[in-house]
Amino acid sequence: MTNIIVPIDFSTTSYNAAHYASQLVKDHKGLTMVLYHMYNSPSDEAEAASELGRLQIVLTEKNPVKITTLLKQGSDLIDELEKEVKIQAANLIVMGITGRSALAQKFIGSNTLKMAERKVCPVLIVQENAEYSDIKNVMLASDMQNAYYSTPVEPIKKFLKTFKPKLNIVNVNSDHYVAITESYEKEKKALQDLFKEFNPEFYFIRLFDREDAIHLFATEKDIDLVITIQKDHSLLHKLFKASDTKNLTYHSSVPVLVVHE
């Protein structure tokens, strides 16, 4: 990983995401954090630059990280971010999400979820109440359907190699019983081969509600971050729709890394 973009709209939610990101990269000297702000009118540029500069100072005083600032005029945040990911060769976007009000969800939450749906680069969603802890224990939620070909191995491996956490691969299905089927054994073997250097542990959970299962597992296993895959026809596809993603992102303090098939 090299460049990480953190969109800032000067809300407390985006500030929290920036503080989280600065702690995330503090021990990784090869990473650069880009504080990004999109303004609508040229008259807003000077004030925005001043605010972004103040944030940069606060963050670098707390953590010795390489931080740059970037301001762009535009009207569509998601389109502009997509352009900047390509220009900056960014490997990750860190965005905040809030659950405090319907209005905040509409403007902050919707942009975060829209960016997560774009197949540009991984997006790390940081809840407004999330506090940073070292990434020691992560959960990869997998539907285990055609895993060998549909799992985005490279971005996941980049993240795992950078932060070196313990990897837990979790599948939730109401049809699981005492032993998994031959089909799931095959998918498990495929994932073992793909991530063998990380010695993953596997868990098969028999519950009807996937979101509840993820919450329970994250709590019981002290998970620091959830990795979930956006797939067009995935069992977890609902997690990426605004009405359902709230279950995972709005009401949880565990950040969610969205990678794309």
- Please give the Cα distance from 163 to 28 (Å, whole number): 9
Q: 115 with 226, same domain?
A: no
- Please give the Cα distance from 198 to 189 (Å, whole number): 14
Between the CA of residue 148 and those of 143, 157, 205, what are the distances in Å?
12, 14, 21
Instruction: Please identify, among 127, 150, 169, the residue that sits at the C-terminal boundary of a domain.
Output: 127
Instruction: Please identify, among 127, 151, 177, the residue that sits at the C-terminal boundary of a domain.
Output: 127
At 147, which CATH number? 3.40.50.620
Contact 116, 92 (CB under 8 A): no
Q: 159 with 69, same domain?
A: no
Q: 100 with 147, same domain?
A: no
Between the CA of residue 30 and those of 4, 133, 160, 161, 199, what are the distances in Å?
11, 20, 15, 13, 25
Q: 104 with 160, same domain?
A: no
Instruction: Please identify, among 75, 97, 127, the residue that sits at the C-terminal boundary of a domain.
Output: 127
pLDDT in tens, the chain (261 residues): 578 999 998 888 899 999 999 999 888 877 889 999 998 889 999 999 999 999 999 999 888 889 999 999 998 999 999 999 999 899 999 998 865 444 444 445 578 888 888 889 999 999 888 889 899 999 998 888 888 888 999 999 999 998 999 999 998 876 766 567 888 889 999 999 999 999 999 998 876 667 777 778 888 899 999 998 887 544 333 543 444 444 444 445 789 999 988
Instruction: Read off the pTM.
Output: 0.86
- Please give the Cα distance from 183 to 57 (Å, whole number): 53
Contact 59, 19 (CB under 8 A): yes
Q: Write out the two tokens for 184.
A: 């799931």
Residues 6+ apart with CB under 8 A from 192: 200, 202
Asked whether residue 132 is assigned to any structural domain, the reply reads no
Domain that holds residue 105: 3-127
Q: 111 with 191, same domain?
A: no
Which of these, 113, 125, 122, 33, lies nearest to 78 by C-alpha position? 113
Q: 220 with 108, same domain?
A: no
- Return the DSSP state at 105: I
Q: 142 with 255, same domain?
A: yes
CA angle (19, 23, 27) in 5-degree steps:
155
Asked whether residue 180 is assigned to any structural domain, the reply reads yes
- Please give the Cα distance from 144 to 184 (Å, whole number): 7
Q: 99 with 157, same domain?
A: no
Q: 122 with 141, same domain?
A: no
- The domain tally of the chain equals 2
The angle, 0 to 180 degrees and rounded to 10, between the axes of the packed helices 210-220 and 242-249 is: 20
CA dihedral 96, 82, 121, 16 (to 10 degrees): -20
Per-residue model confidence (pLDDT) at position 177: 63
Residues 6+ apart with CB under 8 A from 101: none
